[in-house]
Structure 1
Amino acid sequence: MRMEEPRMTQAPAPQRKVDRDEVFVEFTKSICPLCKTPVDAQVNIRENKVFLRKRCREHGEFEALVYGDAEEYLSSARFNKPGTISLTFQTEVKDGCPSDCGLCPEHKQHACLGIIEVNTGCNLDCPICFADSGHQNDGYSITHEQCARMLDTFVASEGEAEVVMYSGGEPTMHKHILDFIDLAQTRPIKNVILNTNGIRLASDKRFVAELGKRNQVPGKSVNIYLQFDGFQERTHREIRGRDLRTFKQRALDNCAEAGLTVTLAAAVERGLNEHELGAIIEYGIDHPAVRSVAFQPVTHSGRHVAFDPLDRLTNPDVIKLIGEQRPGWFQKGDFFPVPCCFPTCRSITYLLVDGEPGNRTIVPIPRLLHVEDYLDYVTNRVLPDTGIREALEKLWSASAFMGTTTTEEKLRATAKALDCADDCGIDLPQAVKDLNDKAFMIVVQDFQDPYTLNVKQLMKCCVEEITPDGRLIPFCAYNSVGYREEIRTAMSGVPVANVVPNALPLQERLADTPYGSKTAAKEGPR
């Protein structure tokens, strides 16, 4: 009997580990964009872009692009200025960020800019509106008494406040808007910004003249923050719902006649109007009323067009587009992060402008002064002139608006330190002398939405919504977490979805304060 030899078996090939296709940066917290529940999140880098990934137990996983240049994201950390503590806090720490706004004692920065939304009604129903304003039945308008108390809340927190912005809705529709500006000017608040679509400014020259008078009050200013998204009819119809080009032109001309300084504020959406950035800057430089432009990648909260969270516009994308569209004017390195907020939230540059339309010489100030040396808080270099650092901190700030006394003073202080080579193209001593006419500001601001919210950034926010119940709520939390819906429900008496989970109902907050909801003027449909 033949014995069968044992059969040789081949050993399995060793398994090989595979590297991930991304670099893990940090662990943080965010919210579910659907139910607004706080969730764990992580920040990752792949293909030189920064992404936020999170998972909700009920709704699954979400991921969004948060910064289009990973190298700049990481290097921006050196511009993170230590925060300043507010004089007062309005809430206690109970559940942690973002559920305890605000401001709570764990918040890392005071309010550079306070926002008061005077109403929810609007003479437009824009397809893109993070505030979801318009002709809804859950509208409200604040009263004279409420506005006064909101301003007092801001002053109590800040002492001498730099800037308050009146917004909405459309604030020029409020019958007391001029009185509200007067209320601010009788308090230690230096500057008022009116955030508007410009329709009333285009059609009511008497109203514009009244704004101009208030801009002449000694030590105070009134400036206009005008929606201005581009020049093509498609841009206007898809962002604002109607063609407003004629209104914008008339509004600007009326502001120039009244001596008002204007910032053009452009909502920028991927695939819609990102090709118009250079033209907006050039138009602004050429118009006598305009001294600055603010570009804001669309915040995908409230009403917005369909979008892909993985293919949204971010600050470095906008800055790159500006350089591509006006290559003779801009280059990499002309913009620097704003240190008072989280440095990836906002970037700014200032320009010296000379010449006539069609023959302009444009020189960004960062090419004439090593801005990064003064705003580097990690290396912390010892520099010879600390006054320049203080001036630059005010210029690279959320409170910086052209037309305000503080910004003009700090620009002049900075200009004295500028170094202009022979090929600069501008007579620098004359430019310094004529700084009010020759300086121009460009801001790029990416506000967080429910897809991109990162509490690490939120805790450093210095743009605060002032609410009727006496809180200062970080702007991105107000629009993303559910606080806007909470306020609207209480003020209008009409339930609004997505109230902050586990938050004390606003009706209970109001019941124990002088803001009582019975004093709120229900706005209703228009």
Structure 2
Amino acid sequence: MTQASTPGRKVDRDEVFVEFTKSICPVCKTPVDAQVNIRENKVYLRKRCTAHGQFEALVYGDAEEYLSSARFNKPGTLPLTFQTDVRDGCPSDCGLCPEHKQHACLGIIEVNTGCNLDCPICFADSGHQRWGSPRSSEAESGGGYSITHEQCARMLDVFVESEGEAEVVMFSGGEPTIHRHILDFIDLAQARPIRNVSLNTNGIRLATDRAFVAELGTRDQVPDRSVNVYLQFDGFDERTHREIRGRDLRTFKQRALDNCAEAGLTVTLVAAVERDLNEHEVGAIIEYGIDHPAVRSVVFQPVTHSGRHVQFDPLNRLTNPDVIELISSQRPEWFQKGDFFPVPCCFPTCRSVTYLLVDGEPGNRTVVPIPRLLNVEDYLDYVTNRVLPDPGVREALEKLWSASAFMGTATTEEKLRATAEALDCADSCGIDLPSAVKDLNDKAFMVVVQDFQDPYTLNVKQLMKCCVEEITPDGRLIPFCAYNSVGYREQIRSQMSGVPVAQVVPNALPLADRLTTTPYGSKAARTEGDVR
């Protein structure tokens, strides 16, 4: 009689399956199935392309926050018009198509592909054209282009047709300030029902052309309209500048800011934050911004690994909660983790915001985040069945926690003032609340953390709620992350230049240098068959 063999022992996976979704292959950009998993309190996206193998990327550094953020997912608002039909499904029908879940809070017009920098990190792959064209601010060849006056007018009209009264349009590039018609483009926007213009710039012209800055300042004084400068500002170390921008720009940034202050312009500092490069500078950037008279907000953007960028490891990238943790650890007297809340108009894991009340002088500041004076969660929780304390406050907070919120605009000031009326400050908060409310223009400050998706992290579920749209010369509104990751940028550049533009393959670490989780949970090196 033979003895039965002992059954093997089953082993649990080392990850929790969260959901099934769609993504793209980062090499060929073909739509593929994907899954979201949690491992060691972090969220990962895994997908497989039949031609190029398996890929995995870290998408969120705090699994608990990722799951709890769902209650901040505000119902979307339909645009007035759609520009494309549904044929192949997301992300192949962008334009916007009727399956998109949100209107455009912010429209972006890229006026050119030329630039006066050749940054090693550039999601738009601007500056030098890798297809052999000489750098030029206007008539480029070999993959580059500049839009005309007529094209800009039509793009603005498309935005208004979709939005009615639009809140914000951003002029970007390339470097928009080198386009000879950029002031005319701002005039075109201000002549339409578009309340605010943002100018996305590296600041070189602002530092060297005070007459140009003065012209921007006059446009900021147009009744019911504003101009905000969205200034590239990555840190203070020379290494930071050279590795992100290719040259030391610290003097240019200071001059640009001082010239903006002289012209009365409101500035947002925008920092690209890369792992092991300028992580240590986020607290100093906020403090510098609070102290400078022109600056009213700071935006931190973990580096998007699309376009041009340094080599990276998809499993070890910065995400929004990582940046918030850096802010809290570097300025613990001002910030804590709970001061930031997800933005409900987009997918809530994409963008987090806080507002500050600031008092005192440089070196002796009192900084109090508004969420400590008002239970923001009571108003921006769209799932929990609770009695809303004040619908007017919710409406104000929805405008403040929005991709269309920019400091220096009439809308933001109005909603901040409405919110301030509901604030409650005990003596322990250390700020003169009545004085701060009275002087909101000087004492309110905004901090944003925005993580854009790249070909490794693209999740169609998030993409369908995107409210930041690229306005294209052919009359489409394409979600920003789709434009940079799926191949739309190359498509538009080819259309505009008449030159075929190749897809950009992400510069990830070689597969042999990365580890991934096998379907059974154990760690194993990728094989040579899993080629990029």
- TM-score class, shorter: over 0.9
1:25 corresponds in structure 2 to 18
1:203 corresponds in structure 2 to 208
Tell me, in whole angstroms, the C-alpha distance in 2 between the residues paired with 1:372 and 1:485.
41
1:365 aligns with 2:358: no
- Maintained 8 Å contact 2:269/2:297: yes
- Maintained 8 Å contact 1:194/1:224: yes
Q: Give 2:198's match in structure 1, choosing from 193, 197, 200.
A: 193
1:503 corresponds in structure 2 to none
Given residue 230 of structure 1, which amino acid in structure 2 is its aligned partner? G
1:255 aligns with 2:248: no
Aligned-partner SS, 1:309? coil
Q: Give 1:175's match in structure 2, choosing from 168, 180, 191.
A: 180
TM-score by length of 1: 0.93
Given residue 20 of structure 2, which amino acid in structure 1 is its aligned partner? F
Tell me, in whole angstroms, the C-alpha distance in 2 between the residues paired with 1:373 and 1:68.
25
Given residue 228 of structure 1, which amino acid in structure 2 is its aligned partner? F
Tell me, in whole angstroms, the C-alpha distance in 2 between the residues paired with 1:102 and 1:458.
13
Mapping of residues 63-462 of structure 1, within 5 Å: 63-136=56-129, 137=133, 138-462=143-467
Given residue 282 of structure 1, which amino acid in structure 2 is its aligned partner? E
Shift of residue 16 of structure 1? Answer: 1.4
- Maintained 8 Å contact 2:199/2:230: yes
Given residue 146 of structure 1, which amino acid in structure 2 is its aligned partner? Q
Tell me, in whole angstroms, the C-alpha distance in 2 between the residues paired with 1:407 and 1:449.
30
Tell me, in whole angstroms, the C-alpha distance in 2 between the residues paired with 1:499 and 1:43.
25
Tell me, in whole angstroms, the C-alpha distance in 1 between the residues paired with 2:10 and 2:502.
47
Shift of residue 383 of structure 1? Answer: 2.0
Tell me, in whole angstroms, the C-alpha distance in 2 between the residues paired with 1:312 and 1:180.
37
Aligned-partner SS, 1:333? helix
TM-score by length of 2: 0.92
Tell me, in whole angstroms, the C-alpha distance in 1 between the residues paired with 2:3 and 2:147.
80
Given residue 241 of structure 1, which amino acid in structure 2 is its aligned partner? G
Shift of residue 89 of structure 1? Answer: 0.2
- Maintained 8 Å contact 1:120/1:170: yes
Shift of residue 384 of structure 1? Answer: 3.3
Sequence identity, in percent? Answer: 89
Shift of residue 10 of structure 1? Answer: 4.0
1:46 corresponds in structure 2 to 39
Aligned-partner SS, 1:141? coil
Tell me, in whole angstroms, the C-alpha distance in 1 between the residues paired with 2:426 and 2:59.
38
Given residue 444 of structure 2, which amino acid in structure 1 is its aligned partner? A
Tell me, in whole angstroms, the C-alpha distance in 2 between the residues paired with 1:23 and 1:332.
24
- Maintained 8 Å contact 2:335/2:369: yes
Aligned-partner SS, 1:312? coil
- Maintained 8 Å contact 2:155/2:473: yes
Shift of residue 357 of structure 1? Answer: 0.6
Tell me, in whole angstroms, the C-alpha distance in 2 between the residues paired with 1:499 and 1:90.
26
1:508 corresponds in structure 2 to none
Shift of residue 292 of structure 1? Answer: 0.2
Q: Give 1:481's match in structure 2, choosing from 481, 486, 496.
A: 486
Q: Which of structure 1's runs of 4+ aligned residues deviate more than 6 A?
A: none
Shift of residue 14 of structure 1? Answer: 0.8
Change (3 A) 1:330 1:153: same
- Maintained 8 Å contact 2:379/2:389: no
Shift of residue 297 of structure 1? Answer: 0.2
Shift of residue 493 of structure 1? Answer: 1.1
- Maintained 8 Å contact 1:483/1:499: no
Shift of residue 498 of structure 1? Answer: 2.7
Shift of residue 385 of structure 1? Answer: 1.6
**CA deviations over 1:111-138 (Å, ceiling 9, x no partner):** 0000000000000000000000002121
**CA deviations over 1:119-165 (Å, ceiling 9, x no partner):** 00000000000000002121100000000000000000000000000
Given residue 367 of structure 2, which amino acid in structure 1 is its aligned partner? I
1:60 corresponds in structure 2 to 53
Shift of residue 499 of structure 1? Answer: 9.6
Given residue 444 of structure 1, which amino acid in structure 2 is its aligned partner? V
- Maintained 8 Å contact 1:30/1:39: yes
- Maintained 8 Å contact 1:192/1:223: yes
Shift of residue 477 of structure 1? Answer: 0.1
Tell me, in whole angstroms, the C-alpha distance in 1 between the residues paired with 2:453 and 2:376.
26
Aligned-partner SS, 2:315? helix
Aligned-partner SS, 1:311? coil
Shift of residue 351 of structure 1? Answer: 0.3
1:15 corresponds in structure 2 to 8
**CA deviations over 1:354-413 (Å, ceiling 9, x no partner):** 000110000000000000010000014222321000000000000000011100100000
Given residue 485 of structure 1, which amino acid in structure 2 is its aligned partner? E
Tell me, in whole angstroms, the C-alpha distance in 2 between the residues paired with 1:120 and 1:17.
56
2:136 corresponds in structure 1 to none
Given residue 331 of structure 1, which amino acid in structure 2 is its aligned partner? Q
Tell me, in whole angstroms, the C-alpha distance in 1 between the residues paired with 2:504 and 2:52.
17
- Structure showing greater Rg: 1
- Maintained 8 Å contact 1:87/1:157: yes
Tell me, in whole angstroms, the C-alpha distance in 2 between the residues paired with 1:384 and 1:448.
35
Aligned-partner SS, 1:305? coil
Change (3 A) 1:258 1:46: same
Given residue 457 of structure 2, which amino acid in structure 1 is its aligned partner? T
- Maintained 8 Å contact 1:486/1:499: no
Equivalent residues, number: 493
1:471 corresponds in structure 2 to 476
- Maintained 8 Å contact 2:95/2:478: yes
Aligned-partner SS, 2:358? strand
Tell me, in whole angstroms, the C-alpha distance in 2 between the residues paired with 1:25 and 1:424.
40
Per mean C-alpha deviation after superposition, the further-off stretch among 111-120 and 8-17 is 8-17
Task: Give the aligned CA root-mean-square deviation in angstroms.
Answer: 1.0
1:516 corresponds in structure 2 to none
Aligned-partner SS, 1:300? coil
Given residue 112 of structure 1, which amino acid in structure 2 is its aligned partner? C
Tell me, in whole angstroms, the C-alpha distance in 2 between the residues paired with 1:228 and 1:119.
21
Shift of residue 50 of structure 1? Answer: 0.2
Change (3 A) 1:110 1:184: same
Shift of residue 9 of structure 1? Answer: 4.2
Tell me, in whole angstroms, the C-alpha distance in 1 between the residues paired with 2:387 and 2:394.
11
Given residue 5 of structure 2, which amino acid in structure 1 is its aligned partner? P
Tell me, in whole angstroms, the C-alpha distance in 1 between the residues paired with 2:379 and 2:233.
33
Per mean C-alpha deviation after superposition, the further-off stretch among 134-143 and 409-418 is 134-143
- Maintained 8 Å contact 1:391/1:410: yes
